[in-house]
Structure 1
């Protein structure tokens, strides 16, 4: 059984995430403490106590989600003997790509925390609040052709692109607020439903270029090693192991499309993956895997019980 580890992105955060693991396992507490020290911030307290709107801030949510994923990975390794090389691939949704690389030994925990903090701040700086927007196009008629047509209609009045090609029936568009509104109108004409996303900036679109430039500068001096197992990258939907290619793709990812549907297709097709395990907070990617790769098994590893059962099943 070929395994891929998946790492969640923004939107999977919740208050008290990682706290039960931290309470149960000293090694999980150590990870959260290492992230706090790297950031010079008591992020773990925000995760435990909130307020929720402070945790949801992009600059906090991104490193926090990575910290929870890495706490779970540390527990898997030290308590249950699981090594990342037992997986064939790692993949992460947007910020989760940093978690995936950290899990695979490509980026240190400290660097991942600092890079994600900067990434969140840079994304927020790139576009003033209220100027941009994102919307999820959903429903059985929603496919990439429909989403591209909607984005093209939006582009008549501003920047609008497909940001996340998540899975059939769930595609996200991003751009200038008026352009997104026009795209929503078109999508509804074509038979899709649309939900405005409660985000502070229009991620994964050309408006994020200032943030990409900041990340290029930061990543230029970061140490990136070859991952212990290949990363299936958001931008290419294909496996990558070359550190310099990974460095470039992390920059491109800020403005580029998250090609998650294609990534799932590659992993279950050419990659031979038959089992997905989502490591960290929530079950968003598990749900996508069940819809996008129904012949593969998909499990979410959120709790100590999840981690133990998963390790025993290998």
Structure 2
């Protein structure tokens, strides 16, 4: 198998995520302890016990999902002798790009946690509640989505935020503009267009105040060259250049998450046959099935998942 590690974004959080690993592997618990110490917060307690409403808050969900992903990677390395360099690439969906960078040694876990806490807070503060929102356009291709967006732009800021998979595009912007785009999507005959239960319009120009905050924070952050190239959200292409990574993390706040393109580049140009999804849930593996039949997804959540994955890698070696 030719491997990429991929890391989920917001929406994959669940109470109890990573708990089995923390209970059974000291290396996983150490990750959670490190994140708690960096943030001065009992985030691991919130992850273990909830409530889900608090865990879902952007400023908590972002570092929590990174912690769950890095716990998987630390257990793979320390307990199953599988290093990130077993992969040809790493990539992450939105906040998952920070998880990917931490997994590849580009960011420390503590710095990734602090940056994601700030990112979550800055994204939440950027737009007053109610002034912006997001919507999923199900069954839309890029052309149909562009037509819906154009209709939305007559009422305000509106753009494609996430190109997740064929037929799964998310738009973001001012509430009135998103409502106009949804109405146009209905006229175009899209299968479904619906608002998402989000607290802010992520990945659109309305997030510029958050991008400014992240620009300042990232300018001061220690970023190392990653052990394997990181496929960036904003370009759907790999890089291992530190200053490029720094710049693209800022651009990512207002820019489109080009996930479908990232997956297709890894498969078609990078020759990837397995995308191992490290962390909570299996959202990326499910989207992969819609995107290509030339690669398979491998969710890595539980100890059993990790053991089977490590055994399969050793068989191939």
Q: Normalised by the size of structure 2, how large is the TM-score?
A: 0.98
SS at match of 1:295: coil
Shift of 1:191: 1.8
2:263 matched residue in structure 1: 264
User: Size of the alignment, in residue pairs?
Assistant: 312
What whole-Å deviation, never above 9, does each CA across 1:254-310 have from its counterpart, x for those lacking one?
000000111111011111111111000010000111211222121100101001100
Q: CA deviation at 1:89?
A: 0.3
2:52 is matched with which residue? 52
Shift, 1:153, TM fit: 0.5
> Which residue of structure 2 aligns with residue 153 of structure 1?
151
Check if 1:115 corresponds to 2:115.
Answer: yes
**Cα distance in 1 for residues equivalent to 2:292 and 2:109:** 30
List per-residue Cα deviations over 1:110-144 (Å, max 9, x = no partner).
Answer: 000000000000000000111100011102xx111
**Partner of residue 143, structure 1:** 141
Post-superposition shift, 1:51?
1.1
Offset, 1:195: 2.2
Secondary structure of the 2:164 match is: strand
Residue aligned with 1:307, SS: helix
Deviations 1:233-252, CA, capped at 9 Å, x for gaps: 00000001100000000000
**1:234 equivalent in alignment to 2:233:** yes
Q: Following the alignment from structure 1 to structure 2, what is the Cα–Cα distance between the partners of residues 191 and 303?
A: 41
For 1:85-109, what per-residue CA distance to the aligned partner results, in whole angstroms no more than 9, with x for missing partners? 0100000000000000000000000
1:72 aligns with 2:72: yes
Cα deviation code 1:165-190 (max 9, x no counterpart): 11111000000000000001111211
Residue 224 of structure 1: aligned partner: 223
Where has structure 1 moved over 6 Å in runs of 4 or more?
none
Q: Does 1:284 align with 2:283?
A: yes
Deviation, structure 1 residue 49: 1.2
Cα distance in structure 2, aligned partners of 1:51 and 1:265: 37
CA distance in structure 1 between the partners assigned to 2:23 and 2:53 by the alignment: 23
Match of 1:91 in 2: 91
Cα deviation, 1:190-220, whole Å, max 9, x if unaligned, reads 1211121111100000000000000000000
Q: 1:206 & 1:98 partners in 2: Cα distance?
A: 21
Gaps of at least 5 residues in structure 2 are none
Cα distance in 1, alignment partners of residues 292 and 232 from structure 2: 18
Deviations 1:33-54 (A, max 9, x none): 1000000000011111111110
Tell whether the 8 Å contact from 2:234 to 2:258 is kept in structure 1 after alignment: yes
Q: Residue 16 in 1 paired to residue 25 in 2?
A: no
Unaligned runs of 5+ in 1: none
What is the RMSD computed on CA atoms of the aligned residues?
0.6
1:132 maps to: 132
Q: 1:181 aligns with which of 168, 173, 179?
A: 179
